[in-house]
Amino acid sequence: MTQAIVFQEADKEILEQPRARSGMFRRLWVALGIPTMLEELGITKYSGLPADALLFVCALFGVISARSIQHLVERAGQDVLLQKLLPVLEKLNDKALRYLLKRIEPETYQALQGQVIRALQDDPRMASQLEGVVAGDDTIEFKSGAKMPGIQVLFKASEGRYHLGYTLVSTHYVDDEKDYPLLFDLRRRSEEEEKAVAQEKERRALGLDLRKTRDYLQWVDHQIEQGEKPELAVLRAARFNPKAVEELEKREIPWIGISPRNRVYQDAQGKPLTAKTLLRRRMNERVCLQLPDSGRQVLVEKGKMQGVGDVVFLMTLDVAREERSLFVVRRGDGDVEEALTLLESYLSWEQVEIETKLHQMVHLLAQVRNYGIRAETASLDRWFYVSWFIQRVLEAGYRRVVVPDRADRYYSYRGQRMTGAEIRATLSPQDFRPAVYRGKKCRLASRVVEHEELGRIKLVFVEEFNKKGQPTRCYGLVCTDPDYPDELVYRAHKLRWKIEEGYREMRQNHGFGAFHSRNWNAIYGHFTFVFLSLLLTIAVRCFTEGLADRTLGWIKEHYLNAVVELRETEDALVVLFSRGFLRRFGLFQLVPGIGYVDW
């Protein structure tokens, strides 16, 4: 027989059961000297509340699973142990947190993050090693607030869609025993991009639709009146027509057309020629011109466009993406040279975003060394394979850079100019040696080649296999140190994946995308404390022997959120753990002698 259930009102308020999280994090926070760091950075009080207490609450954002600043304040108010530890938080409100986050500049946030990283280097369990790797990458976080500062329309390849969002460039330390996040930066629009955004707002205010030729020409005239005559007019879709070309040439404005695939032209003899036919032309190094800055091959052909006259067709192949495009320009006296100048001018606009991220990454890689990271190897994704960037990374003190090879990069090998794939084709099965890294079987082969700008480098060719011994992937890696063993090049490349796992962990357990501010400093502050939350959680695992084989999500859910009992004495606040908890896991041990205190 089922027992009856009776629901009744309690005689008094039912308080939330105390949890260990705020006590553990506070002990680590103080032991690392973060309150002193804040004072040295000039962050002291706001609205009568200590900045140390306010920012400590921000660091709890992910640990207590907050969804917003307001929710964070609510959860902090319900945290019994936190209220006992920091009684000043009785006056805590979301305004105080928001305004403090707004007052702190990104440079100060980054300095705080860097000092915490430096403090952790004093502990051998968290210290970086020479054989470790600094991984670098970027990630995109989509947001829906069109009025959020610095937000941009971005393409996220993993989801195959465009949306408003932010690009975050970051670094991550990895070795065979541990990994943790380092510094990050948010990409801001360049001056040219800010100018384009301002122009877009102005155009909308004028009610002009650039898909219509008449409206587009009105907009061009408006720019001329404002003293901002376009240096190059880009014509695409329906706007690419004889009328638009004629009017632009009257105004002496150079133009370049991006051809639709269904457009019909004429060849040099006047025979009909479709855009699709032009894009099917055979394109290889022997017949194409090379544009190394944009990674494109260009096939040039003369022809005619009805209503326009003589033109030059520029069929481009983005070698890395294997994407073809057809550009059309007016045939002038300089023919090919003038056409290529216009094309490179257009393509340079596409490189602005990439260039900005490259400069940010160089700065981050240099900064982490200033904060005590000793790793000698930088491992990066394929799009970082840019010569000037790699040279700058080496100048920052790294002994080597490891990146995946790209299809549009050429090398000197046996007196010939060849791509990595062409060099790979010269190898025999006997040139490959079996290797294993963390249980994953592969075969490796390598060749030392000459790069035009980087000098002698090593190409490592990788063949990976599944558990059944079947091949799954074949690719090439580039290492700027030709003497670095193949196995370690492969290891550096595989360790880079830890930064991706870090992004996933922050999204799942630390509130990575849970920000809604319209202030740039506050957004930067949110990401700073997300990174610190993950960093401190990893430190807890490294300092606790019983947690070595536990995931970070498990540690947050079960270890940090352990139920405790509180007792107050005249001398201290006593936090009591169950006997089973202490026997199974213990408390994390802080190393004495360097400012740390044992429990």
The sign one gets for the Cα dihedral 73, 79, 82, 86 is: positive
Distances (CA, A) of 546 to 192, 463, 533: 53, 37, 20
Q: What is the pLDDT of residues 404-456, one digit of tens each?
A: 999 889 999 999 999 999 999 999 999 999 998 888 889 999 999 999 999 99
Q: Which helix (H) or strand (E) holds 567?
A: strand 565-568
Residue-averaged pLDDT of the chain:
90
The neighbour count for residue 309, using CB atoms within 10 Å, is: 11
Length of the chain as a residue count: 599
Give me the amino acid identity at 124.
P
Give the tens place of pLDDT for each residue, 4-22.
Answer: 888 888 888 777 789 999 9
Decide if 82 contacts 50 (C-beta within 8 A).
no
Selection from 15, 61, 21, 8 nearest residue 561 by Cα: 21
Range in 52-56, 109-113, 188-192 with the lowest mean pLDDT: 188-192
**pLDDT band at residue 333, thresholds of 50, 70 and 90?**
low
d(CA 217, CA 36): 60
Burial 242-272 (b: 16+ CB within 10 A, else e): eebbebbeeeebbbbbebeeebebeeeeeee
Position 44 pLDDT exceeds 90: no
- At residue 476, the pLDDT reads 96
pLDDT of residue 582: 87
Other CB atoms within 10 Å distance of the CB of residue 461:
22
Mean pLDDT value of segment 347-374: 88
Under a CB-based contact definition with an 8 Å cutoff, are residues 143 and 166 in contact? yes
Angle at 488 between CA 487 and CA 494, to 5 degrees: 95
* 193 vs 134, more confident: 134
Residues in Cβ contact with 530 at an 8 Å cutoff, skipping those fewer than 6 apart: 61, 62, 506, 510, 511, 512
Q: Give the pLDDT score at 1.
A: 59
Q: How far apart are the C-alpha atoms of 452 and 411, rounded to whole Å?
A: 7
Residue spans per domain, the chain: 21-130+504-584, 401-495
Q: Encode 143-170: b = buried (16+ Cβ within 10 Å), e = exposed.
A: eeeeebeebbebeeeeeeeeeebbbbbb
Q: Collapsing DSSP states into helix, strand and coil, what is residue 47?
A: coil
Write out pLDDT tens, residues 230-286: 989 999 888 999 999 999 999 999 999 999 989 999 998 889 999 999 999 888 767
The dihedral formed by the CA atoms of 146, 152, 155 and 160, expressed in degrees to the nearest 10: -10
Percent of the chain at pLDDT above 70? 96
